[in-house]
Amino acid sequence: MSHVVQGYNPRTGEPFGEPVAKTPDSEVDRIASAAATAFSAWSVVPAADRAVVLEKVADALDAESSLLVETADGETALGVPRLTTELKRTTNQLRLFAEVLREGSYVEATLDSANPDIIPPRPVLRRVLRPLGTVAVFSASNFPFAFSVAGGDTASALASGCSVVVKAHSAHPSTSRETARVVVDALRDAGAPEGVFGIVYGTESGVALVKHPAVRAVGFTGSTGGGRALFDLAQGRPDPIPFYGELGSVNPTVILPGAATPDIAAGFAQSLTMGVGQFCTNPGLVFAPESIVPALGEAVAASSGGAMLNERMCDSYKAGTDALAASDLASVVSSGVRPDEAWAVAPLLFSTPVKVFEENLEKLTEEHFGPAALVVTYSEPSELHSVLAKLPGTLTGTVHAAESDYAEAGAVAEILRHVAGRIIFNAWPTGVAVAWGQHHGGPWPSTTNPLHTSVGATSIRRWIAPVTYQSWPDALLPPELQDANPLGIPRRVDGVLVVD
Protein backbone atom coordinates (compact mmCIF):
# COMPACT_ATOMS: atom_id res chain seq x y z
CA MET A 1 0.00 0.00 0.00
CA SER A 2 1.34 3.42 -0.95
CA HIS A 3 2.19 5.79 1.87
CA VAL A 4 1.53 8.91 -0.22
CA VAL A 5 -1.42 10.60 -1.92
CA GLN A 6 -0.67 11.52 -5.54
CA GLY A 7 -2.70 13.91 -7.64
CA TYR A 8 -3.23 13.41 -11.38
CA ASN A 9 -4.04 15.62 -14.35
CA PRO A 10 -7.41 14.41 -15.69
CA ARG A 11 -6.61 15.71 -19.16
CA THR A 12 -3.51 13.53 -19.54
CA GLY A 13 -3.84 10.92 -16.82
CA GLU A 14 -0.29 11.76 -15.72
CA PRO A 15 0.80 12.51 -12.12
CA PHE A 16 0.51 16.15 -11.11
CA GLY A 17 2.52 17.83 -8.39
CA GLU A 18 4.55 16.33 -5.60
CA PRO A 19 2.94 13.47 -3.67
CA VAL A 20 1.71 14.21 -0.15
CA ALA A 21 2.45 11.81 2.69
CA LYS A 22 -0.55 10.05 4.21
CA THR A 23 -1.17 11.02 7.81
CA PRO A 24 -0.49 8.17 10.25
CA ASP A 25 -2.87 7.56 13.15
CA SER A 26 -0.38 8.99 15.64
CA GLU A 27 -0.32 12.29 13.75
CA VAL A 28 -4.13 12.30 13.43
CA ASP A 29 -4.23 11.98 17.21
CA ARG A 30 -1.82 14.88 17.66
CA ILE A 31 -3.69 17.16 15.25
CA ALA A 32 -7.13 16.33 16.69
CA SER A 33 -5.88 16.78 20.25
CA ALA A 34 -4.32 20.13 19.34
CA ALA A 35 -7.61 21.20 17.76
CA ALA A 36 -9.48 20.27 20.95
CA THR A 37 -7.05 22.35 23.02
CA ALA A 38 -7.40 25.29 20.62
CA PHE A 39 -11.20 25.02 20.83
CA SER A 40 -11.12 26.04 24.49
CA ALA A 41 -9.55 29.37 23.51
CA TRP A 42 -11.27 29.91 20.14
CA SER A 43 -14.80 29.26 21.42
CA VAL A 44 -14.62 32.17 23.86
CA VAL A 45 -13.22 34.67 21.35
CA PRO A 46 -15.95 37.30 20.88
CA ALA A 47 -18.00 36.83 17.72
CA ALA A 48 -16.96 40.21 16.33
CA ASP A 49 -13.30 39.23 16.68
CA ARG A 50 -13.89 35.87 15.02
CA ALA A 51 -15.51 37.79 12.16
CA VAL A 52 -12.32 39.79 11.64
CA VAL A 53 -10.27 36.58 11.55
CA LEU A 54 -12.54 35.04 8.91
CA GLU A 55 -12.20 38.13 6.74
CA LYS A 56 -8.41 37.97 7.02
CA VAL A 57 -8.46 34.35 5.88
CA ALA A 58 -10.63 35.39 2.91
CA ASP A 59 -8.23 38.18 2.03
CA ALA A 60 -5.26 35.80 2.19
CA LEU A 61 -6.94 33.30 -0.14
CA ASP A 62 -7.77 36.06 -2.62
CA ALA A 63 -4.15 37.23 -2.54
CA GLU A 64 -2.96 33.72 -3.48
CA SER A 65 -5.67 33.15 -6.09
CA SER A 66 -3.34 32.75 -9.09
CA LEU A 67 -1.33 29.92 -7.53
CA LEU A 68 -4.38 28.21 -6.05
CA VAL A 69 -6.37 28.28 -9.30
CA GLU A 70 -3.42 27.09 -11.38
CA THR A 71 -2.82 24.20 -9.00
CA ALA A 72 -6.48 23.21 -8.87
CA ASP A 73 -6.80 23.28 -12.65
CA GLY A 74 -3.87 20.90 -12.95
CA GLU A 75 -5.54 18.43 -10.57
CA THR A 76 -9.18 18.78 -11.63
CA ALA A 77 -9.28 20.03 -15.25
CA LEU A 78 -12.25 22.21 -14.27
CA GLY A 79 -10.77 25.20 -16.09
CA VAL A 80 -9.40 28.53 -14.92
CA PRO A 81 -12.66 30.53 -15.39
CA ARG A 82 -14.74 28.07 -13.35
CA LEU A 83 -12.09 27.73 -10.62
CA THR A 84 -11.57 31.49 -10.40
CA THR A 85 -15.29 31.92 -9.79
CA GLU A 86 -15.33 29.08 -7.29
CA LEU A 87 -12.47 30.54 -5.28
CA LYS A 88 -14.28 33.88 -5.11
CA ARG A 89 -17.39 32.05 -3.94
CA THR A 90 -15.23 30.44 -1.24
CA THR A 91 -13.91 33.73 0.07
CA ASN A 92 -17.38 35.24 -0.10
CA GLN A 93 -18.59 32.38 2.12
CA LEU A 94 -16.06 33.38 4.74
CA ARG A 95 -17.20 36.99 4.51
CA LEU A 96 -20.87 35.96 4.76
CA PHE A 97 -20.16 34.23 8.06
CA ALA A 98 -18.41 37.35 9.28
CA GLU A 99 -21.75 39.12 8.67
CA VAL A 100 -23.61 36.32 10.45
CA LEU A 101 -21.38 36.72 13.51
CA ARG A 102 -21.86 40.47 13.68
CA GLU A 103 -25.64 40.24 13.24
CA GLY A 104 -25.84 37.71 16.08
CA SER A 105 -29.28 36.11 15.72
CA TYR A 106 -27.69 32.74 14.90
CA VAL A 107 -27.22 32.03 18.64
CA GLU A 108 -31.03 32.27 19.16
CA ALA A 109 -30.65 34.07 22.48
CA THR A 110 -33.83 33.57 24.51
CA LEU A 111 -34.62 35.15 27.90
CA ASP A 112 -37.53 34.16 30.14
CA SER A 113 -38.24 36.12 33.32
CA ALA A 114 -39.20 34.38 36.54
CA ASN A 115 -42.91 33.81 37.12
CA PRO A 116 -43.79 32.15 40.45
CA ASP A 117 -47.54 32.37 39.79
CA ILE A 118 -47.80 29.78 37.00
CA ILE A 119 -47.81 26.00 37.31
CA PRO A 120 -45.13 24.88 37.46
CA PRO A 121 -43.43 28.07 38.64
CA ARG A 122 -40.90 29.41 36.15
CA PRO A 123 -37.40 30.40 37.25
CA VAL A 124 -35.18 32.75 35.27
CA LEU A 125 -34.24 30.82 32.12
CA ARG A 126 -31.77 31.97 29.49
CA ARG A 127 -31.02 29.86 26.42
CA VAL A 128 -28.29 30.21 23.82
CA LEU A 129 -26.57 28.09 21.16
CA ARG A 130 -22.92 27.30 21.93
CA PRO A 131 -20.21 25.62 19.79
CA LEU A 132 -19.83 21.84 20.00
CA GLY A 133 -16.06 21.35 19.82
CA THR A 134 -13.77 20.03 17.11
CA VAL A 135 -15.40 19.41 13.70
CA ALA A 136 -14.01 16.96 11.14
CA VAL A 137 -14.57 18.25 7.59
CA PHE A 138 -14.34 15.92 4.58
CA SER A 139 -13.41 17.69 1.35
CA ALA A 140 -15.43 17.16 -1.84
CA SER A 141 -13.85 16.07 -5.11
CA ASN A 142 -15.99 18.26 -7.38
CA PHE A 143 -15.46 21.56 -5.55
CA PRO A 144 -11.75 21.83 -4.68
CA PHE A 145 -12.34 25.20 -3.03
CA ALA A 146 -15.98 25.82 -2.10
CA PHE A 147 -16.63 22.43 -0.48
CA SER A 148 -13.11 21.55 0.52
CA VAL A 149 -10.29 22.77 2.74
CA ALA A 150 -11.55 26.35 3.20
CA GLY A 151 -15.10 25.69 2.01
CA GLY A 152 -18.49 26.15 3.57
CA ASP A 153 -18.16 23.51 6.28
CA THR A 154 -14.84 24.92 7.45
CA ALA A 155 -16.07 28.53 7.27
CA SER A 156 -19.28 27.87 9.19
CA ALA A 157 -17.56 25.69 11.81
CA LEU A 158 -14.81 28.26 12.49
CA ALA A 159 -17.46 30.98 12.62
CA SER A 160 -19.43 29.04 15.23
CA GLY A 161 -16.40 28.90 17.51
CA CYS A 162 -15.47 25.31 16.69
CA SER A 163 -12.00 24.14 15.73
CA VAL A 164 -11.61 22.23 12.45
CA VAL A 165 -9.61 19.29 11.14
CA VAL A 166 -10.00 18.77 7.38
CA LYS A 167 -9.59 15.42 5.65
CA ALA A 168 -8.20 16.40 2.24
CA HIS A 169 -9.70 14.77 -0.83
CA SER A 170 -7.28 12.37 -2.49
CA ALA A 171 -8.06 13.73 -5.96
CA HIS A 172 -6.46 17.11 -5.26
CA PRO A 173 -3.77 16.82 -2.57
CA SER A 174 -1.60 19.64 -3.95
CA THR A 175 -4.54 22.06 -4.03
CA SER A 176 -5.44 21.00 -0.49
CA ARG A 177 -1.89 21.48 0.76
CA GLU A 178 -1.57 24.95 -0.76
CA THR A 179 -4.98 26.04 0.50
CA ALA A 180 -4.25 24.74 4.00
CA ARG A 181 -0.93 26.62 4.01
CA VAL A 182 -2.72 29.89 3.27
CA VAL A 183 -5.39 29.23 5.91
CA VAL A 184 -2.90 28.28 8.63
CA ASP A 185 -0.70 31.30 7.96
CA ALA A 186 -3.68 33.67 7.90
CA LEU A 187 -5.09 32.28 11.14
CA ARG A 188 -1.72 32.60 12.84
CA ASP A 189 -1.22 36.16 11.58
CA ALA A 190 -4.71 37.06 12.80
CA GLY A 191 -3.95 35.79 16.30
CA ALA A 192 -6.14 32.67 16.28
CA PRO A 193 -5.00 29.94 18.68
CA GLU A 194 -2.45 27.49 17.29
CA GLY A 195 -4.07 24.25 16.17
CA VAL A 196 -7.56 25.69 15.60
CA PHE A 197 -7.27 24.41 12.02
CA GLY A 198 -5.51 21.24 10.87
CA ILE A 199 -5.46 18.91 7.86
CA VAL A 200 -4.90 15.18 7.32
CA TYR A 201 -4.38 13.08 4.17
CA GLY A 202 -5.38 9.56 3.15
CA THR A 203 -8.52 7.43 3.50
CA GLU A 204 -7.31 5.80 6.70
CA SER A 205 -6.81 9.20 8.33
CA GLY A 206 -10.46 10.04 7.67
CA VAL A 207 -11.61 6.91 9.47
CA ALA A 208 -9.31 7.66 12.40
CA LEU A 209 -10.63 11.21 12.51
CA VAL A 210 -14.29 10.17 12.77
CA LYS A 211 -13.41 7.73 15.55
CA HIS A 212 -11.24 10.19 17.49
CA PRO A 213 -12.76 11.14 20.88
CA ALA A 214 -11.82 14.81 20.41
CA VAL A 215 -14.05 15.12 17.34
CA ARG A 216 -17.59 16.25 18.21
CA ALA A 217 -19.23 16.48 14.74
CA VAL A 218 -18.53 15.63 11.09
CA GLY A 219 -19.29 17.41 7.82
CA PHE A 220 -19.10 15.36 4.62
CA THR A 221 -19.71 15.92 0.91
CA GLY A 222 -19.29 12.93 -1.36
CA SER A 223 -20.67 9.61 -2.52
CA THR A 224 -23.62 7.84 -0.95
CA GLY A 225 -21.53 4.75 -0.23
CA GLY A 226 -18.66 6.60 1.38
CA GLY A 227 -20.95 8.90 3.32
CA ARG A 228 -23.05 6.01 4.63
CA ALA A 229 -19.96 4.15 5.82
CA LEU A 230 -18.71 7.18 7.75
CA PHE A 231 -22.21 7.95 9.06
CA ASP A 232 -22.42 4.43 10.49
CA LEU A 233 -18.96 4.88 12.00
CA ALA A 234 -19.99 8.14 13.67
CA GLN A 235 -23.16 6.57 15.04
CA GLY A 236 -21.32 3.43 16.16
CA ARG A 237 -18.91 5.28 18.44
CA PRO A 238 -19.27 4.74 22.21
CA ASP A 239 -20.40 8.38 22.15
CA PRO A 240 -22.29 8.86 18.82
CA ILE A 241 -21.73 12.26 17.22
CA PRO A 242 -23.66 14.29 14.63
CA PHE A 243 -22.78 13.47 11.03
CA TYR A 244 -23.93 15.92 8.38
CA GLY A 245 -23.46 14.31 4.99
CA GLU A 246 -24.41 15.57 1.54
CA LEU A 247 -24.61 12.50 -0.68
CA GLY A 248 -26.43 11.61 -3.95
CA SER A 249 -29.13 13.59 -5.73
CA VAL A 250 -30.98 13.20 -9.05
CA ASN A 251 -32.63 16.67 -8.97
CA PRO A 252 -35.91 16.08 -10.83
CA THR A 253 -37.08 18.73 -13.29
CA VAL A 254 -40.72 18.86 -14.43
CA ILE A 255 -41.36 20.62 -17.74
CA LEU A 256 -45.09 21.34 -17.99
CA PRO A 257 -46.80 21.57 -21.41
CA GLY A 258 -46.86 25.35 -21.66
CA ALA A 259 -43.11 25.52 -21.09
CA ALA A 260 -42.22 22.72 -23.52
CA THR A 261 -40.77 25.01 -26.18
CA PRO A 262 -37.47 24.71 -28.09
CA ASP A 263 -36.06 27.61 -26.07
CA ILE A 264 -35.86 25.47 -22.95
CA ALA A 265 -33.47 22.96 -24.51
CA ALA A 266 -30.40 25.19 -24.55
CA GLY A 267 -30.70 25.98 -20.85
CA PHE A 268 -31.10 22.32 -20.03
CA ALA A 269 -27.97 21.27 -21.97
CA GLN A 270 -25.92 24.06 -20.41
CA SER A 271 -26.96 23.02 -16.90
CA LEU A 272 -26.45 19.32 -17.63
CA THR A 273 -22.89 19.75 -18.94
CA MET A 274 -21.69 22.46 -16.53
CA GLY A 275 -18.50 21.22 -14.88
CA VAL A 276 -18.81 18.02 -16.97
CA GLY A 277 -22.00 17.27 -15.05
CA GLN A 278 -20.08 16.94 -11.78
CA PHE A 279 -22.46 19.07 -9.73
CA CYS A 280 -24.55 17.77 -6.85
CA THR A 281 -27.43 19.77 -8.38
CA ASN A 282 -27.04 18.39 -11.90
CA PRO A 283 -30.52 17.97 -13.56
CA GLY A 284 -30.23 14.22 -14.09
CA LEU A 285 -33.95 13.46 -14.26
CA VAL A 286 -36.42 15.35 -16.47
CA PHE A 287 -40.18 14.81 -16.81
CA ALA A 288 -41.41 16.27 -20.10
CA PRO A 289 -43.93 15.87 -22.92
CA GLU A 290 -42.75 13.68 -25.79
CA SER A 291 -42.84 16.69 -28.12
CA ILE A 292 -39.86 18.39 -26.48
CA VAL A 293 -37.54 15.36 -26.51
CA PRO A 294 -36.10 16.02 -30.01
CA ALA A 295 -35.11 19.58 -29.05
CA LEU A 296 -33.52 18.38 -25.82
CA GLY A 297 -31.65 15.72 -27.77
CA GLU A 298 -30.36 18.20 -30.33
CA ALA A 299 -29.08 20.50 -27.59
CA VAL A 300 -27.23 17.66 -25.88
CA ALA A 301 -25.80 16.42 -29.20
CA ALA A 302 -24.38 19.90 -29.84
CA SER A 303 -22.74 20.07 -26.41
CA SER A 304 -19.32 18.90 -25.34
CA GLY A 305 -18.17 16.79 -22.43
CA GLY A 306 -14.78 16.93 -20.81
CA ALA A 307 -12.38 15.21 -18.46
CA MET A 308 -13.87 13.82 -15.28
CA LEU A 309 -12.21 14.63 -11.97
CA ASN A 310 -10.51 11.27 -11.65
CA GLU A 311 -10.24 7.90 -13.34
CA ARG A 312 -12.63 6.20 -10.92
CA MET A 313 -15.39 8.70 -11.68
CA CYS A 314 -14.78 8.34 -15.41
CA ASP A 315 -15.00 4.54 -15.21
CA SER A 316 -18.11 4.70 -13.04
CA TYR A 317 -19.88 7.06 -15.44
CA LYS A 318 -19.07 4.89 -18.43
CA ALA A 319 -20.12 1.69 -16.68
CA GLY A 320 -23.40 3.16 -15.48
CA THR A 321 -24.42 4.76 -18.75
CA ASP A 322 -23.31 1.73 -20.78
CA ALA A 323 -25.49 -0.49 -18.61
CA LEU A 324 -28.47 1.81 -19.04
CA ALA A 325 -27.97 1.95 -22.82
CA ALA A 326 -27.80 -1.85 -22.99
CA SER A 327 -30.96 -2.33 -20.94
CA ASP A 328 -34.50 -2.39 -22.27
CA LEU A 329 -35.58 0.28 -19.79
CA ALA A 330 -34.45 3.39 -21.69
CA SER A 331 -33.31 4.39 -25.16
CA VAL A 332 -30.45 6.69 -26.09
CA VAL A 333 -31.76 9.96 -27.53
CA SER A 334 -28.41 11.57 -28.30
CA SER A 335 -24.76 11.82 -27.39
CA GLY A 336 -22.57 14.91 -27.29
CA VAL A 337 -18.92 15.41 -28.15
CA ARG A 338 -16.18 13.60 -26.22
CA PRO A 339 -12.91 15.59 -26.19
CA ASP A 340 -9.65 13.80 -26.77
CA GLU A 341 -8.54 13.76 -23.13
CA ALA A 342 -7.53 10.91 -20.85
CA TRP A 343 -10.56 10.77 -18.57
CA ALA A 344 -13.05 12.52 -20.85
CA VAL A 345 -16.69 11.50 -21.30
CA ALA A 346 -19.49 12.54 -23.65
CA PRO A 347 -22.86 14.00 -22.57
CA LEU A 348 -25.72 11.51 -22.92
CA LEU A 349 -29.49 11.82 -23.00
CA PHE A 350 -31.80 8.85 -22.44
CA SER A 351 -35.59 8.58 -22.64
CA THR A 352 -38.27 6.30 -21.20
CA PRO A 353 -42.09 6.47 -20.84
CA VAL A 354 -43.47 7.37 -17.42
CA LYS A 355 -45.09 3.95 -16.99
CA VAL A 356 -41.78 2.14 -17.52
CA PHE A 357 -40.09 4.59 -15.18
CA GLU A 358 -42.61 4.03 -12.40
CA GLU A 359 -42.35 0.26 -12.71
CA ASN A 360 -38.55 0.41 -12.50
CA LEU A 361 -38.15 3.45 -10.30
CA GLU A 362 -35.32 2.15 -8.12
CA LYS A 363 -33.11 1.26 -11.10
CA LEU A 364 -33.93 4.39 -13.08
CA THR A 365 -33.24 6.82 -10.22
CA GLU A 366 -29.63 5.69 -9.81
CA GLU A 367 -27.35 8.71 -10.08
CA HIS A 368 -24.87 8.63 -12.97
CA PHE A 369 -22.49 11.29 -11.73
CA GLY A 370 -21.59 13.24 -14.85
CA PRO A 371 -23.31 14.83 -17.88
CA ALA A 372 -26.08 12.24 -18.32
CA ALA A 373 -29.83 12.67 -17.93
CA LEU A 374 -32.98 10.61 -18.33
CA VAL A 375 -36.11 12.17 -19.86
CA VAL A 376 -39.33 10.57 -18.61
CA THR A 377 -42.10 11.29 -21.11
CA TYR A 378 -45.75 11.79 -20.18
CA SER A 379 -49.04 12.58 -21.95
CA GLU A 380 -50.87 14.38 -19.14
CA PRO A 381 -49.28 16.10 -16.13
CA SER A 382 -51.62 14.19 -13.82
CA GLU A 383 -49.65 11.04 -14.70
CA LEU A 384 -46.71 12.45 -12.74
CA HIS A 385 -48.33 12.94 -9.35
CA SER A 386 -47.93 9.41 -8.03
CA VAL A 387 -44.43 8.89 -9.41
CA LEU A 388 -43.06 12.21 -8.13
CA ALA A 389 -44.18 11.30 -4.63
CA LYS A 390 -42.12 8.09 -4.83
CA LEU A 391 -38.83 9.73 -5.79
CA PRO A 392 -35.87 9.36 -3.44
CA GLY A 393 -34.81 12.39 -1.44
CA THR A 394 -33.09 15.04 -3.50
CA LEU A 395 -31.44 18.43 -3.07
CA THR A 396 -33.60 20.22 -5.62
CA GLY A 397 -36.87 19.96 -7.49
CA THR A 398 -37.52 22.19 -10.51
CA VAL A 399 -40.72 23.22 -12.29
CA HIS A 400 -40.82 24.91 -15.69
CA ALA A 401 -44.23 26.35 -16.44
CA ALA A 402 -46.09 28.96 -18.48
CA GLU A 403 -48.82 31.04 -16.87
CA SER A 404 -51.39 28.60 -18.25
CA ASP A 405 -49.68 25.85 -16.17
CA TYR A 406 -49.76 27.68 -12.84
CA ALA A 407 -52.40 25.50 -11.18
CA GLU A 408 -50.53 22.35 -12.13
CA ALA A 409 -47.20 23.92 -11.16
CA GLY A 410 -48.54 24.54 -7.67
CA ALA A 411 -49.70 20.94 -7.37
CA VAL A 412 -46.32 19.61 -8.54
CA ALA A 413 -44.44 21.89 -6.13
CA GLU A 414 -46.56 20.64 -3.23
CA ILE A 415 -45.48 17.08 -4.07
CA LEU A 416 -41.83 17.97 -4.65
CA ARG A 417 -41.45 19.78 -1.35
CA HIS A 418 -41.71 16.43 0.41
CA VAL A 419 -38.73 15.00 -1.47
CA ALA A 420 -36.57 18.09 -2.19
CA GLY A 421 -34.97 20.80 -0.08
CA ARG A 422 -35.08 23.59 -2.68
CA ILE A 423 -37.94 24.14 -5.16
CA ILE A 424 -36.99 26.11 -8.29
CA PHE A 425 -39.31 27.83 -10.75
CA ASN A 426 -38.36 28.46 -14.39
CA ALA A 427 -34.62 28.16 -13.80
CA TRP A 428 -32.05 25.38 -13.55
CA PRO A 429 -30.73 23.90 -10.32
CA THR A 430 -26.98 24.20 -10.96
CA GLY A 431 -25.54 27.14 -9.06
CA VAL A 432 -26.22 27.41 -5.33
CA ALA A 433 -26.27 31.00 -4.09
CA VAL A 434 -24.45 31.64 -0.81
CA ALA A 435 -27.06 33.61 1.10
CA TRP A 436 -29.15 33.92 4.24
CA GLY A 437 -32.17 32.30 2.59
CA GLN A 438 -30.41 29.35 0.97
CA HIS A 439 -31.22 25.75 1.83
CA HIS A 440 -28.96 23.04 0.43
CA GLY A 441 -30.23 19.78 1.82
CA GLY A 442 -33.03 17.27 1.56
CA PRO A 443 -34.26 13.83 2.62
CA TRP A 444 -32.10 10.71 2.37
CA PRO A 445 -30.08 9.98 0.28
CA SER A 446 -29.41 13.60 -0.64
CA THR A 447 -28.35 14.25 2.95
CA THR A 448 -28.20 12.39 6.24
CA ASN A 449 -30.17 15.13 8.01
CA PRO A 450 -32.94 16.99 6.12
CA LEU A 451 -33.27 19.62 8.85
CA HIS A 452 -29.95 21.24 8.07
CA THR A 453 -28.22 22.93 5.14
CA SER A 454 -24.59 22.84 4.01
CA VAL A 455 -24.82 26.21 2.22
CA GLY A 456 -26.01 29.56 3.49
CA ALA A 457 -26.09 31.40 6.80
CA THR A 458 -28.05 28.74 8.69
CA SER A 459 -25.44 26.06 7.94
CA ILE A 460 -23.74 27.32 11.11
CA ARG A 461 -26.48 25.61 13.15
CA ARG A 462 -24.88 22.23 12.52
CA TRP A 463 -22.01 23.07 14.84
CA ILE A 464 -23.85 24.68 17.77
CA ALA A 465 -26.12 23.20 20.43
CA PRO A 466 -28.49 24.75 23.00
CA VAL A 467 -27.58 25.41 26.62
CA THR A 468 -30.02 26.88 29.14
CA TYR A 469 -28.72 28.84 32.13
CA GLN A 470 -31.18 28.71 35.02
CA SER A 471 -31.11 31.31 37.82
CA TRP A 472 -27.53 32.43 37.10
CA PRO A 473 -26.41 35.93 38.12
CA ASP A 474 -26.18 38.36 35.25
CA ALA A 475 -22.45 38.92 35.64
CA LEU A 476 -21.71 35.22 35.08
CA LEU A 477 -23.79 34.83 31.94
CA PRO A 478 -22.44 34.87 28.37
CA PRO A 479 -22.74 38.40 26.96
CA GLU A 480 -25.46 37.20 24.56
CA LEU A 481 -27.72 36.60 27.59
CA GLN A 482 -26.86 39.52 29.85
CA ASP A 483 -29.62 41.99 30.69
CA ALA A 484 -27.91 44.94 28.99
CA ASN A 485 -27.45 43.01 25.72
CA PRO A 486 -23.89 44.41 25.29
CA LEU A 487 -23.59 42.85 21.83
CA GLY A 488 -26.78 44.48 20.58
CA ILE A 489 -28.05 41.25 18.99
CA PRO A 490 -31.68 40.26 18.28
CA ARG A 491 -33.14 38.28 21.20
CA ARG A 492 -36.46 36.75 22.23
CA VAL A 493 -37.46 38.20 25.61
CA ASP A 494 -40.48 36.67 27.37
CA GLY A 495 -41.70 35.38 24.04
CA VAL A 496 -41.28 38.65 22.11
CA LEU A 497 -38.57 39.07 19.48
CA VAL A 498 -36.59 42.22 20.30
CA VAL A 499 -34.26 43.73 17.72
CA ASP A 500 -32.05 46.44 19.22
Q: How far is CA 473 from CA 125, 312, 478, 483, 488, in A?
A: 11, 59, 11, 10, 20
246 part of the active site: yes
pTM of this prediction? 0.96
Q: What is the CA radius of gyration of the chain?
A: 24
Active-site residue (options: 86, 178, 246, 367): 246
383 part of the active site: no
Per-residue pLDDT tens digits of the chain, which is 500 residues long: 689 999 999 999 999 999 999 999 999 999 999 999 999 999 999 999 999 999 999 999 999 999 999 999 999 999 999 999 999 999 999 999 999 999 999 999 999 999 999 999 999 999 999 999 999 999 999 999 999 999 999 999 999 999 999 999 999 999 999 999 999 999 999 999 999 999 999 999 999 999 999 999 999 999 999 999 999 999 999 999 999 999 999 999 999 999 999 899 999 999 999 999 999 999 999 999 999 999 999 999 999 999 999 999 999 999 999 999 999 999 999 999 999 999 999 999 999 999 999 999 999 999 999 999 999 999 999 999 999 999 999 999 999 999 999 999 999 999 999 999 999 999 999 989 999 999 999 999 999 999 999 999 999 999 999 999 999 999 999 999 999 999 999 999 999 999 97
> Beta partners for 213?
none
Phi, psi of 488 (to 5 degrees): 65, 35
Active-site residue (options: 280, 314, 367, 408): 280
Polymer length of the chain: 500
